[in-house]
C-alpha cells in the first residue's frame, strides 16, 4: 500500500520547510550580528573620573580582567584563564576593593559579568554599582557601594 501525497499536502509540506528555514536563518543572522560580550559596563551617568579594576584572585596569584582610568560604558571579552584553580572576583574603584563573587569553581571557564552604575554622587565620590554574575550554574546579583 503506497501513499500518494496530494497537491495540497505537497504545498503545505514545502511551506512548513520554508518557514523553518526562514526561522533558522533569522536566528543565525541575529546571533552573528549581535555577539554577547562577557563583560558589560553600563553607565548612564556620563564618564566618571575614577579608576576601576576588575581582578580575579587565585590561591597562587591574580589576573586583571579589566582596567580603566575612568568609569564609562564599555563591552569587553573576558580573557581566558592563565592561572587555574578556585578563585574569586573583586572590583576596585578609586582604591577601594570589594569582593563581588566570593567563590568561582576551578572548572568555571566562561562567565558573564554586568557592572551597572546605579547611582553616582560626585560631591561625595559615592558610586553604587549593581553587579550581575552568571556562569551557567550560579547567578549572583548584588549592589555594592564605593565611597
Q: What is the pLDDT of residues 81-94, one digit of tens each?
A: 778 889 999 999 98
pLDDT digits (tens, 9 = 90+) for 29-76: 555 544 456 899 999 999 999 999 999 999 988 999 999 999 999 999
Q: Where does residue 81 fall: left (phi above 0), alpha (psi -120 to 50 degrees), or beta otherwise?
A: beta
CA distance 7 to 46: 63
pLDDT at 1: 44
CB count within 10 Å of CB 142 equals: 12
pTM of this prediction exceeds 0.85: no
Burial of 108 (0-12, 13-18, 19+ CB in 10 A): middle
Length of the chain: 147
Burial of 118 (0-12, 13-18, 19+ CB in 10 A): middle
Helix ranges (DSSP H) in the chain: 7-33
Q: Are 36 and 13 in contact (CB under 8 A)?
A: no
Amino acid at each position: 500500500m503506497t501513499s500518494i501525497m496530494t497537491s495540497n499536502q505537497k504545498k503545505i509540506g514545502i511551506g512548513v520547510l520554508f518557514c523553518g528555514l526562514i526561522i533558522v536563518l533569522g536566528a543565525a543572522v541575529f546571533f552573528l550580528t549581535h555577539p554577547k560580550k562577557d563583560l558589560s559596563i553600563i553607565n548612564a551617568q556620563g564618564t566618571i573620573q575614577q579608576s576601576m579594576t576588575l581582578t580575579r584572585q587565585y590561591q597562587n596569584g591574580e589576573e586583571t580582567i579589566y582596567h580603566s582610568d575612568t568609569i564609562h560604558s564599555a563591552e569587553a571579552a573576558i580573557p581566558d584563564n592563565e592561572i587555574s584553580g578556585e578563585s574569586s572576583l573583586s572590583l576596585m574603584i578609586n582604591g577601594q576593593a570589594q569582593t563581588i563573587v566570593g567563590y568561582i569553581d576551578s572548572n568555571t571557564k566562561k562567565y558573564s559579568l554586568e557592572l551597572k552604575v546605579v547611582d553616582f554622587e560626585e560631591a561625595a565620590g559615592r558610586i553604587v554599582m549593581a553587579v550581575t554574575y552568571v556562569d551557567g550554574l550560579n547567578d549572583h546579583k548584588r549592589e555594592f557601594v564605593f565611597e
